[in-house]
Amino acid sequence: MSKSAIVTLLLFASTSAFAALSPREIMVKNEEARKIPDSIAKASLATKSGDKERVKEFTWWRKLLDDGVHFNTLTRFHAPAEVKGEGILFLEKGADQNEVLMYLPAYKKIRRVESQNQSSSFMGSEFSYADIATPHVDDYSYKMLKDENCPAFEGGQEHSGIKCHVVESTPVSDAVKERTGYSRLVSWVRSDNFMHVQVEFYDQGGSLVKRMQASEIKEVDPAKKKLMHMRVRMESVAKGKVTVLKFADVKTGQQIPDATFTQASLSKEK
């Protein structure tokens, strides 16, 4: 076989594989690529509004449940001083019954975040509680919009020259719509590793409200080939505010005990 024939065959194979993936399959792969069984990470959440920037530092513990779909996540804030010891526990459940609990050290008390509130701002950032929680493939129906070069943005040079699938996700139920506050999402998913690069969020009226750009993809669990964005930038289009979520010191395979994700653990302040 001539060299050109091999190249043509490879190209054809690659293209046909590319074309063969349905939008749902793309999003399944996206979810799979990021599905780390357990992780502990240091993180910071920096929100900038005008000249003012507020930075919060926290640790998070995240563990995949036995159902292989949902996660439990514990977030513990360390800085600044007035939020030290505060904790947030996300308990993802089926049938859109996510539970979000918050611990306030000033009152030694756990408070529940109502599901409707989960579409509102996560601790004054441009992320909502729903953005922080893992979107599940079954919560949406999908439509392939197009394939194009991944978008370029500051800090996202690593994606340059790579093809992206552009997939539209629509909530399958009003409950999902209500919880997330979005009518649809448009995701740019890298064709090579299926990690998303950019997601646009549209409100119930159909207007673009937020744009998330993810970068610094790192293989945090080489054995299982699991990837993670180390930097996620969320921008509120109308308000012009930006929050940057950064992760560092990510550890996987730590065998985090289930007791970490209980109310008792939440109220330990450490």
Partner 1 sequence: MKPVRTLLTTLGVAFGVALYIAIVIINRSTLTSFRESIDAVAGKATLSVSGSEAGFPEEKLESIAKVPGVKHAAPMIEARAYFAGDRSARRTLMILGVDLLRETSIRTYKTTCAEAGSARGGDCNEEIIEDPLSFLNQPDSIILTHAFAQANGLEVDSKFSVATVRGTRQLTVRGLLSPEGPAKAYGGGIAIMDIDGARVTFGKEGKLDRVDIITAPGAEVDQVAERLRVTLGPGYVVERPATQGENMERMVKTYQAMLTVFSTLALLVGVFLVMNSVSIAVAERRREIGTLRALGAERRGILALFLTEALAMGAIGSFLGVWLGRKLAGYMVATVTFSMSGQYLMKIETPKLEFRSSDFVDAVLIGAFVALLAALWPSLRATLIQPLDAMRKNDPEAQRRARGITRFSPHLGALLLCFFAVSTLNNWGVSNAILGWVDQASAMIGAALLGPAVVVWLIRVTAPIAIPLGGAVTRLADDNLMRNPRRTGSNVMSLMVGLILVIMIAAVNVSFRDTVLGWFNEAFRYDLLVSSTGRVISFQTQPVHEDLARELVTVPGLKKSAHAMRFIHVEYQGRRIGLKAFDPPDPAFGFSTIPVIDRPKNDAGNELFGSTDPTVLVSSNFVLHFGLKRGDTVRLATPGGVVPFRIIGVVDDYASAEGVLYVKRTTYKKYWHDPLISVIAINLAPGADLETVRQEIDRRFGQSRNLMAVSNQEFRKQMADIVDQSFAYTDAIKLAALLVGLLGLFNTFLISVMERTRELGMLRAVGMSRAQMRSMILVEALIQGAFGALAATALGAMISFLWIKGNLAHILGWIIRFHFPWMGVLTTVAIGVFVALLAGLFPAWRASHLEIREALEYE
Site for partner 1, rule CB under 8 A: 49, 54, 56, 77, 80, 82-83, 86, 102, 104-107, 109, 111-114, 116-117, 119-121, 123-124, 239
Distance of closest approach, residue 248 Cβ to partner 1, in angstroms: 20
State the CB neighbour count (10 A cutoff) for residue 44: 15
Distance of closest approach, residue 99 Cβ to partner 1, in angstroms: 12
Residue 208, Ramachandran bin (φ over 0: left; ψ between -120 and 50: alpha; else beta): beta
130 close to 180: Cβ distance less than 8 angstroms: yes
Is the Cβ of residue 117 or residue 141 nearer to partner 1 in the bound state? 117
Is the Cβ of residue 33 or residue 88 nearer to partner 1 in the bound state? 88
Is the Cβ of residue 77 or residue 140 nearer to partner 1 in the bound state? 77
Determine the Cα–Cα distance for residues 202 and 7; give it in Å rounded to an integer: 41
Distance of closest approach, residue 70 Cβ to partner 1, in angstroms: 21
Is the Cβ of residue 123 or residue 266 nearer to partner 1 in the bound state? 123
Determine the Cα–Cα distance for residues 184 and 182; give it in Å rounded to an integer: 6
Is the Cβ of residue 81 or residue 259 nearer to partner 1 in the bound state? 81
The burial class, CB within 10 Å (0-12 / 13-18 / 19+), for 146 is exposed
Distance of closest approach, residue 245 Cβ to partner 1, in angstroms: 14
Distance of closest approach, residue 111 Cβ to partner 1, in angstroms: 6
Is the Cβ of residue 34 or residue 42 nearer to partner 1 in the bound state? 42
Distance of closest approach, residue 227 Cβ to partner 1, in angstroms: 29
Distance of closest approach, residue 115 Cβ to partner 1, in angstroms: 9
Is the Cβ of residue 124 or residue 155 nearer to partner 1 in the bound state? 124
Cβ contacts of 4 within 8 Å, gap of 6 or more: none
